[in-house]
Structure 1
């Protein structure tokens, strides 16, 4: 049994790659996809994969918060990054109308350009959405027939929103948010109806440390880590009422299907 964490922010300086990766592999998290959130950080994400190409992969994209920085050069850079086999998706892209660090107009432009790029390159999209669900779905519907799929990263919505993503052919990325019975109540209800063939697991480390996880601040300084993905998996298995081995096999199969990740043949220590 091994796991893949489809969303880790290794470009955040709170995560020291070497010790965090070593702890992840020790916890049988053998594959990690590093999230690209801006032009510069997407470049950094790809650079990080080159030192551990069997364990680390990356996405290339511009988060809605950085949409105001998006221009034709950005698009060229993302296209170039995506030519690397280590880059497995376009994103993190989408809409975030909660704080509007970039204007809605800038976000819509950057998102649509990245959807077009994903269609051109036939790569899946790694999606972000907050307080912009209807607008996001409308734009995804526009390109549905040309997209090769994607994942609603760090999904925290309700059953109806989940169903809409599923109808469009997307996978659902579940984080430690599901471990919080209060904040994650709607999500916990939703995933009881989630087909296991559409489930992906992620930590979104160093964010979203799972509630109920034992305190280990001397080791992790209070951050979330990919090593904690099996804890999230156990919670998800309980909520979905499935055996942990069944959940594991489904998640690995789903990850390989969407992102084209290679099968891990050896699970040697890091």
Structure 2
């Protein structure tokens, strides 16, 4: 079955793994029915690159701007001004990727919390929605977010992997939820598979997080194991199957949610 007008809300298209064939990747995505892509900013430099890339693909791409918790140690007193300037770009649609990652601790947890709070404050000030990341930091993540949530226009927990209890804590904060190919992994994706039917239709969005998280159950996987936005229909169908919904209907309302959230 073919789909049209799909929106991938999380693509790391500035990643080096796409350097050899980026334009072909973009074309394959469009051929697969992915009409628009939200490029993910993970550092100030890559956020700038993502925004410029989006400028070269008007109508197809927009981008977030932020500093991922892995890079939180790079956050300085000058970062607020730099990020605010990036958000003035016409293709900027959200603050992030920001949040907490206690799974890998690539940056000290104190630095992660500081950068997270600073970026949430920028979301409040700018009026942009927040594009959020969380791994193994549920209590701290929600405690910090709760202090800002009422003043933030909207927020999505991207690449959600949690269980039903955490999902409902997120829904209590009126978060949108982004689901990736993690749901296609019967081993580590079991809690997500159990919780995804509980996501309200009007809060659900889909994404690939390419080049990461290649769906494990794809019948024909690329030899290099690289994920790409052309595989979003596979994620869509997996989500629809677990929710007992028609894929075409799910494609329609997730696109509508994404358009509204990112003001596309």
2:233 to 218, 222, 230: 230
The alpha carbon displacement at 1:99 in A equals 2.1
The answer to whether 1:51 aligns with 2:49 is no
2:249 to 243, 246, 251: 246
The alpha carbon displacement at 1:183 in A equals 1.5
Paired residue for 1:40? 45
- The number of residues matched between the two structures is 259
The answer to whether 1:114 aligns with 2:110 is no
SS of the residue corresponding to residue 14 of structure 1 reads helix
TM-score (norm 2): 0.96
The answer to whether 1:215 aligns with 2:214 is no
The alpha carbon displacement at 1:216 in A equals 4.6
**Compared CA separation, residues 216 and 179, structure 1 to 2 (3 A):** closer
Residues 215 and 222 in structure 1, CA contact (< 8 A), matched pair in contact too: no
1:128 to 105, 130, 133: 133
Paired residue for 1:27? 32
The answer to whether 1:139 aligns with 2:144 is yes
The alpha carbon displacement at 1:233 in A equals 0.2
Q: Deviations over 1:4-37 (max 9, x none)?
A: 0000111111123201000000001010011000
- Name stretches of at least 5 consecutive residues in structure 1 with no aligned partner: 262-270
The alpha carbon displacement at 1:115 in A equals 0.1
Paired residue for 1:177? 182
Paired residue for 1:267? none
Residues 63 and 91 in structure 1, CA contact (< 8 A), matched pair in contact too: yes
The alpha carbon displacement at 1:85 in A equals 2.4
Q: Distance in 1 between matches of 2:57 and 2:125?
A: 28
Q: Which runs of 4+ in 1 moved over 6 A?
A: none
Paired residue for 2:158? 153
Q: Distance in 2 between matches of 1:156 and 1:216?
A: 22
SS of the residue corresponding to residue 78 of structure 2 reads helix
Q: Distance in 2 between matches of 1:236 and 1:214?
A: 16
The alpha carbon displacement at 1:76 in A equals 1.2
The alpha carbon displacement at 1:157 in A equals 0.4
Q: Distance in 2 between matches of 1:159 and 1:59?
A: 27
The alpha carbon displacement at 1:187 in A equals 0.5
- Name stretches of at least 5 consecutive residues in structure 2 with no aligned partner: none
Q: Distance in 2 between matches of 1:158 and 1:121?
A: 32
Q: Distance in 2 between matches of 1:111 and 1:73?
A: 15
TM-score (norm 1): 0.93
Superposition RMSD in Å: 1.1
Q: Distance in 1 between matches of 2:71 and 2:220?
A: 33
Range that drifts further, 237-246 or 110-119: 237-246
Q: Distance in 1 between matches of 2:221 and 2:172?
A: 40
